[in-house]
Structure 1
Amino acid sequence: MTSRANIACLGAGRMGRGIAVAFAYAGHRVTMIDVKPRSAEDFAKLETDALGEVRKTFASLSNLGLLTEADVDPLVARVSVATASQSGTALADAGMVFEGVPEVVELKREVLGAASRQVKPDTIIASTTSTILVDDLSGAIVNPHRFLNVHWLNPAYLIPLVEVSPGKATDPAIIDEVKALLEGIGKVPVVCAATPGFIVPRIQALAMNEAARMVEEGVASAEEIDKAIRYGFGFRYAVLGLLEFIDWGGGDILYYASRYLEGALGSDRYRAPDVISRNMHEGRIGLRTGAGFLDYSGLDVDAYRAKRLQAMVDLLRHFELARPPVLDRD
């Protein structure tokens, strides 16, 4: 697959439009394929809506300073919409295909199976499903070794992270090609096993439900909880990953805090997984012992801490919360 491969999106909805913007911005030509047979009038409306949203998105990026107003037309010109009957031509020219139809297994299998028979044998095919496991879909694909899941986070054209989830039949070389393609358009791909919720949706479901539960219990108002998330939870984890933060403070702290919360709140949802106690017994506490979830052997710990703290100071400045010290002056 070439670095500027043509991209095809099966479906011209929200996800397809976001992916189209991301790839067109990075120099690729993108065709959104309408997978539903429509009258000429209905297709014209879909095409107008889809390209209108793409244009509006680029215009908003111009207003935000990521491109100039003069850039909008050339970028929009890289995106087109094809009818279902035109899919053969669009798919034959594609280096990679992203499926973005509604979350219905039978529909996805039908659309993906048909597309896999129209593309070139080496064209990579990906579903963007947020809920369905890749191996529940791969049986419908011709040459399933080139099929995997590529889960984007909305808005797809802005959020850097993309979760790549291969199936049992996925060729490891295909994973590397997809990662290279995504990195080439400025994304940050992470590879995870085919498991419900992938990484981010699984973690955020717990966090969102707990935030809602605290409102329900009267712990704090929605406004106060969201303020705590922005300036505490989100602030720290924009710099330190969750597992890195466990190591930063020490896995033993999480172990004892979890035991207290489980008892005080009467819920096993706060129970630490076995890996936390196992790490403790093996002396893998984190930075203090040179190993935890991550390996810190040979690391200049002082320099590492200074770098992370500098990133936090930069965030303080971003939020306009950095202040000079108050000094007594005689």
Structure 2
Amino acid sequence: MRRIETAAVVGAGYMGGGIAQSMARAGLPVVLADVSAEAAARQLERLLTEARTYEEQGLFAPGDADRVAANLRAATSVEEAVADVDFVHEVVFEKVEVKHDVLARASAAARPDAIIGTNTSTIPVKVLAPAVVRPERFLTVHWSNPAPFIPGVELVVGEAIDAAVLPVVQEMLERAGRRSAQVADTPGFVLNRLQYVLFKEAADIVAEGVATPEAVDTIVSTTFGFRYPYFGPFAIADMAGLDVYVLGMKIMEEAYGERISPPKALTDLVDAGAHGAKNGEGFTVHGDPEKLARMIAYRDLAYARQGQLLAELAHAHPDAPASPAPAQDPDVVAEQEARP
């Protein structure tokens, strides 16, 4: 299967527009389609203006706005957008019937060899694939919001997938500066299954009067959330100590029941004498002292730099005091006040 050189994004709103912008920034010609030609043209103008603003703010590299403008255009219809591209990405509202309609229409009009992706965040491939013409070329390619800046992408394939499709999509994502991971075809996949569980528990904590929403957000962003740009939950558990996790979760189990009980995968490791980084055996460490030393050194460097970055960005935080208004020339003020 050939390399993806051209793409169409069907659904050019906030999420779809960000994906299209990201691919265009990476050098792929991208065609936008939306509910109408007028809507697609409006979204194109928004994305071009946004790219220029990002470049002025230093969020895009010099020349990126011109690259986006050179590679992004709007189509008058879905059929026109998908007619001759290598990759079609559906990014419409998260309702099965809406996605079925758009996927059926787009896949029927696309080339027989075009790969069809969906950006669904929760709906399994097996639910959407029946609407797709030639489902062997269909998979989930789930970007995260905001698409121009979040590097992770979930990939989900169905039973009908052609094995040649996945590596072609992975290579395209790499060119766009993204890191992808394949996960199983289950509702919510990994990202939202974890994210929604955290939100549900946070909402319960607030409802029980344990903390305010502001306090929860502060604790999450300055403690375990502080670590997540660099490590996932298994590596973090290894560094904390798996035996410590078991003891802590048993205390939580007494208060909250089985929903926060230590999982069997954890207790089995601890029962076998694996305590994580402290003795070199765990979920992500396996008796390699040099790798473990590099992991700890990376952790210390990453967390220190993260603290420096947050300090650097403190002035831009939404809770930071507003900058005082610049002093005005009293003669100018008097002139303005004198005007009718």
**Kept after mapping to 1: 8 A contact 2:21/2:148:** yes
- Is 1:104 matched up with 2:108? no
Structure 1 length as normaliser, TM-score?
A: 0.86
Whether 1:92 and 2:83 are equivalent positions in the alignment is yes
Mapping 1:141-180, distance limit 5 Å: 141-180=132-171
* Corresponding residue pairs, total: 311
Q: Is the 8 A contact 1:21 1:157 kept in 2?
A: yes
- Structure 1 residue 155: Cα displacement: 0.7
Per-residue deviation, 1:68: 6.2
| 1:281-319 CA-partner distances (Å, limit 9, x unpaired) | 233332234332224233412233112211111112112
Determine if contact 1:3/1:184 at 8 Å carries over to the other structure. no
Q: Give TM-score scaled by structure 2 length.
A: 0.84
Contact 1:4 1:27 in 2 (8 A): no
SS of 1:98 mapped into structure 2:
strand
1:117 is aligned with what amino acid?
A
Alignment match of 1:214 (pick from 205, 216, 226): 205
Q: In structure 1, give the amino acid aligned to 2:56.
A: N
The runs of at least 4 aligned residues of structure 1 exceeding 4 Å deviation read: 1-4, 68-71
Partner AA of 2:33 in structure 1: I
Match for residue 46 of structure 2 among 44, 48, 53: 53
Q: Sequence identity, in percent?
A: 35
Confirm or deny: 8 A CA contact 2:55 2:62 kept in the other structure.
Answer: yes
Q: Which residue identity lines up with residue 28 of structure 1 in the other structure?
A: L
Map 1:213-232 onto structure 2 (within 5 A): 213-232=204-223
Q: Counterparts in 2 of 1:109-148, with a 5 A limit?
A: 109-148=100-139
Q: CA deviation at 1:280?
A: 2.1
Distance 2:71 2:60 in 1: 15
Shift of 1:176: 1.2
Tell me if the contact between 2:96 and 2:128 (Cα under 8 Å) persists in the aligned partners: yes
Check the 8 A contact 2:2/2:168 in 1, yes or no: no
C-alpha change, 1:157 and 1:70, in structure 2 (3 Å) is closer
Per the TM alignment, residue 74 of structure 1 is displaced from its structure 2 partner at its CA by 4.7
Give me the whole-angstrom Cα distance separating, in 2, the residues matched to 1:177 and 1:207: 33
- Judge conservation of contact 1:6–1:29 (CA < 8 Å) in 2: yes
Q: Which residue of structure 1 lines up, in the alignment, with residue 7 of structure 2?
A: 7
Tell me if structure 2 keeps the 8 A contact 1:12–1:81: no
Deviation at 1:22, TM superposition (A): 0.5
Q: Does 1:290 align with 2:280?
A: yes
Contact residue 59 and residue 69 of structure 1 kept, 8 A? no
CA distance in 2, matches of 1:288, 1:74: 49
Using a 3 Å threshold, how does the CA distance of structure 1 residues 181 and 68 change in structure 2: closer, same or farther? closer
Match status 1:249 vs 2:234: no
Distance 2:200 2:57 in 1: 32
Query: How far is 1:114 from its partner?
Result: 2.6
Cα distance in 2 for partners of 1:201, 1:71 equals 31
Q: Which moved more, 1:227-236 or 1:154-163?
A: 227-236
- For residues 194-223 of structure 1, the C-alpha deviation after alignment (integer angstroms, 9 at most, x for no partner) is 111111211111212222222222222322
| 2:260 corresponds to | 270
